[in-house]
Amino acid sequence: MNRIEQRFKSLAQQRKAAFIPYITAGDPTLELTARLVPELERAGADIVELGVPFSDPLADGVVNQEAALRALRHDVSLHDILAMVGNLRKTCQTPIVLFTYFNPILAYGLEGFAQDAASAGVDGVLCLDLPPEEASEYCKLMDARNIATIWLIAPTTPEHRIELIAGIARGFIYYVSRTGVTGERESMDTSIKDQVAAIKRHTSTPVAVGFGISKPAHAAEVASCADGVVVGSAIVRLMGQLGDSPEMIPKVCEFVKSLASAAKS
């Protein structure tokens, strides 16, 4: 098992859901990202998702798009992010997932990326726009290096495709709680419980739910039926407001603590 699988196993024994915050690597700076990751775990994060900045993030709403653009203005690259993760691993064992589009991986070189990600200490990769039907080489390279291949399932995903994804997913499956792009919402979709149960009929791999979760009450609601709770836009929005001010890390961690506590209540 890698660190993601170990963390979910430990939490399952405690009958608790994982709390998974998403932040954009390099926003506001890569140095602050490196400082924030271990602090997020101290605030209650079980796994941290690092968004790889990309110029055309089609699955992301405005908040995450703007964060990616801020990071790109600092010329943050996939090479830089892997180097940062490698440095983090000297003192930090927080499970880390890269949340990326396929283009940065393709530009890097698939085999080189798999090798360098493993060497850096990346635990999982969620590649948003890589169809599972075309991912055999990707999965082979990741599996050989014990990097979890995480996939999205949406409310519109047909059952035969859920079965396909369930067969190749490792670490966890990311259930998108609603159609559309990332972003905060006032209420959660009432179908989440049934959709998670439908996925679990095909797999024992943990199922985490994201998209739209922005409040402690949302986190608690989702944690009652899922193995993990993912929050991104609400955290990224706060980071965008605070920038590189001295208050950014403590205020973000205070917010994360409230979400994580609700998810584990």
- Provide the pLDDT for residue 180: 47
Read out DSSP for 156-184?
T--HHHHHHHHHH--S-EEEESSSS-S--
pLDDT at res. 223: 96
Low-confidence ranges of the chain (pLDDT < 70): 178-189
- Phi-psi sector, 129: left (phi>0), alpha (psi -120 to 50), beta: alpha
Its CATH architecture, for the domain 3-263, is Alpha-Beta Barrel (3.20)
Q: Determine the 3-state secondary structure of 246 from DSSP.
A: coil
By annotation, the residues acting in catalysis are: 49, 60
Distance CA 257, CA 253 (A): 6
What is the rounded CA–CA span in Å between residue 5 and residue 172? 8
Structure tokens that stand for 6 in this block: 């170990």
Q: Which two tokens stand for residue 145?
A: 């290096």
Q: What is the DSSP letter of 204?
A: -
The pTM (predicted TM-score) of the whole model is 0.94
* Model pLDDT for residues 119-162, shown as the tens digit of each residue: 999 999 999 999 999 999 999 999 999 999 999 999 999 999 99
Rounded to 10 degrees, what is the CA torsion of 80, 85, 90, 95?
Answer: 180
Q: What's the confidence (pLDDT) of residue 179?
A: 54
Distance CA 229, CA 210 (A): 6
Kindly state the tokens that stand for 155: 């409310």
By the 8 A CB rule, do 8 and 20 touch?
A: no
Tens of pLDDT, residue by residue over 186-212, are 555 678 999 999 999 999 999 999 988
> Is the Cβ–Cβ distance between 219 and 231 less than 8 Å?
yes
**Residue 213 confidence (pLDDT):** 92
